[in-house]
Amino acid sequence: MTLPAPTADQIWVWIKDWLVFHTPAPFQPLASILCIVAAIIVVFASLFALTVLLERKGLGRMQNRYGPNRVGPFGILQPIADAVKSLTKEDIVPRSADHVVHYLAPLVLVAASFLAYAVLPIGRNMTAVNLDAGVLFFFAIGSATELAVFMAGWSSRNKYSLLGAMRAIAQMVSYEIPLILSSIAVVMIAGTLSTSAIVDEQARYTHGIAHWFVFTPWGLAGFILFMIAATAETNRSPFDLPEGESEIIAGYFIEYSGFKFALFFLAEYIEMFAVSGLGITLFLGGWSSPVSFLAWIPSWIWFFGKLLALICCFIWVRGTLPRLRMDQLMNFAWKFMLPMTLFVILSAGVWRFLPATIAGSGALGAVVRWLVCAFIVLLPYVTLARALESGRKIEKREYRFAE
Amino acid sequence: MFGEGIIQGLVETARNFFGSYVDKDRLVTVQYPEERHQLPEATRQFPFLLYDGADPEAGLRCVSCQICEKECPPQCIHIEKSKDKKPDFVGKLQFYPAVFNIDVSTCMSCQICVEVCPFDAIRMDNQFELSTSNRFAGLLYTKPELAKSNEYYRKIHPTEAAECDERRAKEAEEAKAKAAAAAAASAAKAAQAAATSPAGAANGASGNGTASTPVEQPAGKKPVTQ
């Protein structure tokens, strides 16, 4: 058996095959698994370091500050300094904490976050485990992080951490529904739960433009709803109530210090990448290029480019929006997100059964289908926005003592 | 209602983000160790002792009256009075501190020592980079570390120093005039005494000796004080 010549697109697959090829036959399955696991952990942990730096620099610039610029040129070695700091800090466990659960919580969280990458196609032929029910696996593993969060909040035996954990559970359970419902539309159209097959479905081109689901009305609405739900699911601002530094200090990981704290931090970002990766897979065509003449750029560059773009959006939103109140959060989830995702599903169904072309009318059929589906999403959006607004009175607040 | 407020907010942050790369005036941060703000004149950190002239020992204004030591709320000042005396800026013989220590780890920079000092001998410094690598050493300031020249005082607190110098010059002037008047009066007395009895003249001259020396002292000191 010989290996095919490496191409830029398949370079990582080739390296893995080469490494596996040079291990003794009995260890080849194990070596294959280890290669993939090591690659995922190294790549996404480095991406975490990069993101933390980007976030601090970006937020700084949004607030007209410099951001970290002391460690290394332009502060690029700041993540290393952070890592050294968190590794050398004392690990404090409260005396009355449940030691076993307290110890396990960050490990479970990180493990569950990394497991989600098993089904993400990060390039052509670069899915770690090509499950038939990949999307289902992703959401199942995503729910395991809730368990870890509650383990952390409960075992710390601290009022704030318990409060934070309760908030986290309430929020994650609420937003998991719109998250899953908005991806159901994609599953309906693609007709499969396999992430690789969903990407293959989108990596087709007509007139040089890809069949990304985000280019359809239901796909665009679904993508926005998916990303909002993903923001809430990963406890990012403006949905960072479980952490709420100003209210409950740090929420469920208040009693963690040193490296365990760093693990929570890591898991949060890893989750964010994973859910962004799923958003890319479902709506943004995974590793495919948007136009066919750019298809020569390696698929993994497309995936990580899109991922970085989404991360920048997350940072941008974090720099812009203030934290929601608990009731606003719940109202938003149940009164707005849930109905909207249901209409997205309806729109996707209509899209599936309306003919894409009407015989003899050229592009008219496609335009009609597009407009009808857009209308099905836009009408409830306007109606819901009006209805939710009507009961509220916004007045200028009079301050008696301030100012 | 339709989320346009969110869009406006996003535009605002984006404008700030890109603006901070284009417009340097947006970035108000002073990159501290390399760039520094001009310290305001009223800055105060820890006290120091003032001396006139070039010699910190001879010119030290402190007369060891120990008022500051008694008034200091956290009691961080420790003074030991000298056994002998030395002349001050008007030429009057005064005690001086044999030991003058300030424990800056205890000092709370309240400036009360400065307020109570009747001799303009203690003032607030503006040095703030005083951290030490040792927890126990380097925080007890002794007389050589505390003594700083009047020129330095003029540099860090110009307005205050000018006012102080003016007042002291006036005081020295008055003291000189007073001494001169006293010398003149005693000289006249001596002349009168000499006129009545020539034998008493020698006694009178030696008696005036103590009174006339102080007059010499401020004359030598005055250019420095101003």
Of A65, A321, A385, which has the smallest distance from its Cβ to B2's Cβ? A385
pLDDT for B206 beyond 70: no
- Mutant choice from B2, B13, B22 vs A, greatest count of A C-beta within 10 A: B13
**Is the CB of B26 inside 8 Å of chain A's CB atoms?**
yes
| Tokens of residue A173, six digits | 């359970």
Instruction: Give the residue, B216 or B61, on which the prediction is more confident.
Output: B61
Quick one: DSSP state of residue B60? B
Percent of chain A with pLDDT over 90: 16
Q: What band does B223 get if pLDDT is binned at 50, 70 and 90?
A: very low
Report CB contact under 8 Å: A62, B17.
yes
pLDDT bin (cut points 50, 70, 90) of residue A402 is low
A146 neighbors A169 (Cβ within 8 angstroms): yes
* DSSP strand pairing (B93-103 vs B77-87): antiparallel
Residue A229 confidence (pLDDT): 92
Query: Per CB distance under 8 Å, which residues of A are interface residues toward B?
Result: 58, 61-66, 316-317, 319-321, 381-382, 385-386, 389
pLDDT mean across residues, chain B: 81
B22 close contact with A: CB closer than 8 A:
no
Give the CA distances from residue B29 to residues A218, B24, B223, in Å, rounded to whole numbers and listed in that order. Answer: 46, 10, 44
Q: Reply yes or no on whether the pLDDT at B57 is more than 50.
A: yes
pLDDT single digits (tens) A133-180: 889 999 998 888 888 888 888 888 888 888 888 888 888 888 889 999
Least CB–CB distance from A64: residue in B2, B6, B27: B27
CA–CA distance, A148 with A106 (Å, rounded to integer): 7
What confidence score (pLDDT) does residue A158 get? 84
pTM of the model: 0.76
Q: pLDDT of A103-113, one tens digit each? A: 899 999 999 99
State how far residue A317 is from chain B, nearest Cα, in angstroms.
7
Could A320 and B9 be called an inter-chain contact, meaning their C-beta atoms sit closer than 8 Å? yes
Find the mean pLDDT for residues A63-70: 86
Q: Which chain B residue lies closest to A65 (C-alpha atoms)?
A: B27
**Mean pLDDT over each residue of chain A, to the nearest integer:** 85
What confidence tier does B95 reach under pLDDT thresholds 50, 70, 90? confident
Within 13 A of A395's CA, how many CA atoms are on the CB side? 4
Listed by number, the residues of chain B in 83-142 with a beta carbon closer than 8 Å to a beta carbon of chain A are: none
CA of B9, closest CA in chain A: separation in Å? 6
pLDDT tens profile A202-254: 888 888 788 888 888 888 999 999 999 999 888 888 888 777 777 777 778 88
Q: Select the residue of B2, B13, B20 nearest A316 (Cβ to Cβ).
A: B13
Q: Do A63 and B26 touch (CB under 8 A)?
A: no
Chain B residues within an 8 Å CB radius of A55: none
Domain boundaries, chain A: 10-88, 91-338
Nearest CA in chain A to B3: A385
Task: Tell me the pLDDT tens digit for each residue of A330-351.
Answer: 888 898 899 999 999 999 888 8
Token duo for residue B42: 């009223």
Q: Which residues of A touch B29 (CB under 8 A)?
A: 65-66
pLDDT at site A167: 86
DSSP-derived letter for residue B148 is E
The three-point CA angle B114-B117-B123 to 5° equals 35
Percent of chain A with pLDDT over 70: 97
A314, closest residue in chain B (CA to CA): B10
A362 to chain B nearest CA, in Å? 35
Q: For residue A316, which amino acid is it?
A: W
Q: DSSP letter string over A139-170?
A: HHHHHHHHHHHHHHHHHTT-HHHHHHHHHHHH
Nearest Cα to Cα of residue B47 among B16, B12, B76: B76
Partner residue opposite B17 with nearest CB, options A61, A381, A386: A61
CA B115, CA B122: separation in Å to the nearest integer? 9
Verify whether the Cβ–Cβ distance B29 to A65 is below 8 Å: yes
The answer to whether B12 contacts A320, with C-beta atoms less than 8 Å apart, is yes
Contacts with B3 from chain A: Cβ below 8 Å = 385
Residue A387: closest C-alpha in chain B:
B1
User: Measured between alpha carbons, how far is A256 from A94 in angstroms, rounded to an integer?
Assistant: 9
Q: Give CATH for domain B47-163.
A: 3.30.70.3270
Task: Tell me, yes or no, if B32 comes closer than 8 A to chain A by beta carbon.
Answer: no
Question: Which pLDDT belongs to residue B222?
Answer: 44
Q: Which chain A positions have a beta carbon within 8 Å of B10's beta carbon? A: 316-317, 320
* Distance from C-alpha of A75 to C-alpha of A71, rounded to nearest angstrom: 5
pLDDT at residue A377 is higher than 50:
yes
Cα dist from B198 to B139, B190, B191, B192, B205, whole Å? 64, 10, 9, 10, 12
Q: How many CB pairs under 8 A join A and B?
A: 43
